[in-house]
Structure 1
């Protein structure tokens, strides 16, 4: 069960990273944080390249790298904006919509189709999203869904979930045309390169803060690199679907840490909703093994 411990560690570290995001957005904007996260993650993971055989790159590697890095650069920036303006305990569970969108994008991009168990998982994700704002039910049965659409941060999180459903397919193509570790390092470095011109253009007036607070962003990258390292080891020990499903429990950790550290309210219904959504993700994950 080492894989389960590692995957749970990934989930916890992901939620810690999100809380760290929320607190650091008071000091740095989303462009600096996004660029720093991806650069330092790639930097701390790059020594692993000395312990693996450098793979022969397939014909689709470079196209997959360009598309995935571009999509993730956009997604990271939007996600940081979302948690900046809304509660983390709302935003984190909404990102579990990614598997739902994957049921649409995967058949179109990589030819993978859902089965009945996967569709059941979709049902639980929808039910869980309803419960996130169940307190709005007194305004009508569809009010909880309208609350998600009405909140700008929630709308941004939905967009991120959709973008990740696209980029995940290209990540799969990238891994198939290289190797897991080589792909992760390559894509994170590329994302940081894509974000750097945006940082220099839109955030140049905030760069002076790096002199005194830059070490915090280094820690930020270390947290994510440890999480990615644990994920790669876990994937080598069991099915990818199991690892990713357990990883999505980060939504539960984010709800809990949102209450403890960020003092967010409405935690009971959000935890229940997040738990049901994670269960739906788990069903989708195991459905991929059939």
Structure 2
């Protein structure tokens, strides 16, 4: 199977898992949803760890990267599941497009990297998409009317939460470059998910085992969401083995378009006429930034 097909399956299963969780697991807490999103895929990733170097051979620097990344990743996912559970998919998922924008900002602040003309174009496309996403708030009476869509982003709790997720993902993406000096990408990804699953089990499940009882009361919904995420992770790493990471991530971000469509078709969210073109603009900005 081609890498494009794998990346599209990855994007579709990610958006489908989000929609399924919103539809069937809405009454679960964000902490319980964290168990579904990390523990099950973590278990599915363990076969990919066969042949991994012994843990004792990994230097202390690697474990330092992990100690910083794991809590940031868990915080990002906690905000993520809370945002899609309580707020419209079409007004939350598109803001993940800001992740590469924030990565450029982090690289500029921490590494002194300059923004290229292509980078500026990508940022402008993402920002234009964000404006269009909230264009219903715009009016022409004065200059404040033109910036009203940006103010609306901060007024919408789900949008604020997903912008925070994008910022956290920008940090973990930058830190991940340091950690991947010690393991190849496909091995690192599987090991990272396995570690996340164990960390969630220790922090969330172990202190309150009753959460597993609540999850067990809705086995098909939990297994469906967990299975979709497992397929997402598996196809993610299969695609990465076939093509450069940047190309794969650009295609994977079509998940935001699938999310907008789920929002309109399944949850009857309004404004699809503006939100879908906004998602296309933001996806275009992502493609320009990551490739």
Q: Which residue of 2 aligns with 1:177?
A: 182
Name the CA distance, whole Å, in 2 between partners of 1:132 and 1:204: 41
Higher alpha-carbon deviation: 64-73 or 111-120 = 111-120
1:193 to 189, 192, 198: 198
Residues 44-86 of structure 1 deviation map (CA, whole Å, 9 limit, x = unaligned): 1111222x45375355321121211110100000111111221
d(CA) in 1 for partners of 2:21, 2:76? 14
Aligned residues: 285
Q: Is the 8 A contact 1:58 1:178 kept in 2?
A: no
Aligned residue in 1 for 2:17? 17
- Alignment TM-score, normalising by the size of structure 1: 0.90
2:59 is the alignment partner of 1:54: no
Q: Which runs of 5+ in 1 are unaligned?
A: none
Question: Aligned in 2, Cα 1:45/1:145: closer, same or farther, shift over 3 Å?
Answer: same
3-state SS, counterpart of residue 237 of structure 1: coil
* Residue 234 (str. 1) matches residue 239 (str. 2): yes
Give 1:227 shift.
1.3
Distance between the aligned counterparts of 1:232 and 1:141, measured in 2? Answer: 42
For 1:127 and 1:263, locate their aligned partners in 2 and report how far apart those are by CA, in whole Å.
24
Change (3 A) 1:203 1:129: farther
Correspondence list, 1:144-155, <5 A: 144-155=149-160
Query: What is the alpha-carbon distance in structure 1 between the residues aligned to residue 122 and residue 207 of structure 2?
Result: 41
Matches within 5 A, 1:53-202: 53-54=52-53, 57-109=58-110, 113-138=114-139, 140-196=145-201, 199-200=204-205
State the Cα distance separating 1:215 from its structure 2 match.
4.1
3-state SS, counterpart of residue 218 of structure 2: helix
Whether the 8 Å CA contact 1:110–1:169 is kept in 2: the answer is: no
Aligned equivalents of 2:98 and 2:8: distance in 1?
20
Aligned equivalents of 1:150 and 1:202: distance in 2?
Answer: 35
Kindly indicate whether the alpha-carbon contact (under 8 Å) linking 1:79 and 1:156 is maintained by their aligned counterparts in 2: yes
Pairwise CA distance, 1:201: 8.7
CA distance in 2, matches of 1:25, 1:113: 43
Q: Name stretches of at least 5 consecutive residues in structure 2 with no aligned partner.
A: none
Instruction: Indicate conservation of the 8 Å contact 2:10/2:232, yes or no.
Output: yes
Q: Which residue of 2 aligns with 1:30?
A: 30
Greater displacement, 61-70 / 249-258 = 61-70
- Where 2:180 maps in the other structure, the secondary structure is helix
Matches of 2:59 and 2:273 in 1, distance apart?
48
Name the counterpart of 1:267: 272
The CA RMSD measured in Å over matched residues stands at: 2.2
Q: Contact between 2:62 and 2:179, CA under 8 Å: does it hold in 1?
A: yes
Q: TM-score, normalised by structure 2?
A: 0.90
Contact 2:39–2:200 (CA<8 Å) still a contact in 1?
no
Q: Which moved more, 1:61-70 or 1:108-117?
A: 108-117
